[in-house]
Amino acid sequence: MVIDESKGYIATIQTNKGDIVVELDAASAPLHTNNFVFLARQGFYDDLTFHRVIPDFVVQGGDPLGKGTGGPGYQIPAEIALPHQQGAIAMARKGDQVNPEKKSSGSQFYITLKSQPHLDQQGYSVFGRVKEGFDVVQKIEKGDVIERINIEER
C-alpha cells in the first residue's frame, strides 16, 4: 500500500481539454484508490488517451494500448460500495462470463456523464467523484489525451 487510508487523496487529471479534479475515497475503496495513486505517481497514465466516449454514459481511459484491451497486467478485487452518481470515477472490468469475481481492470477507469444506477447492480467499483472540472469531462472526445495525473494527499 502506498496510501494511508486515514488520509484524503485528490487526483488532478490534466487533459488537453483542461483539468478534472477528483476526490478519491480511500475509506470505501482502499485497493482501487491505492492502485490509481500508485499508477499516477509512476506516470503510467501520462499521454494515454480516452479511448471510449459514449454520450450521456461515460468517458473511459487508462488503456496503454488505446483500444480497451490493455492494462498493467493485473486485476483488482472488487470493492462495491459507492454509487454511480454523475461524475463518479470507477474501474472498468471484463464481463461476468470471463470474470465472475467482478475483478476490476488494473488501469482502465471511467467517469460517468450522468447518474448510472444500473451499474451499481453490475459490480463495478467506484472509487471517487469529480469535484471540479465536470465541464471538462463533458467536453472529452475519443482520442483526447490524459497529459498527466497529479496526486495530492491531505
**Per residue in 79-109, pLDDT tens?**
999 999 999 999 999 999 999 999 999 999 9
The class level of CATH for 9-153 reads mainly beta
pTM of the model: 0.96
Across the chain, mean pLDDT equals 96
Name the residue with cell 500500500.
1
- Residue 14, classed as helix, strand or coil, is strand
Percent of the chain with pLDDT over 90: 94
State the DSSP string of 65-106.
Answer: TSSSS--SS-EE-----S---TTEEEE----TTT-TT-PEES
Residue 1 has pLDDT above 90, yes or no: no
> Which residues, including other chains, have CB under 8 Å from residue 13's CB and lie 6 or more apart?
19, 20, 21, 22, 45, 133, 146, 149
Domain range summary for the chain, segments of one domain joined by +: 9-153
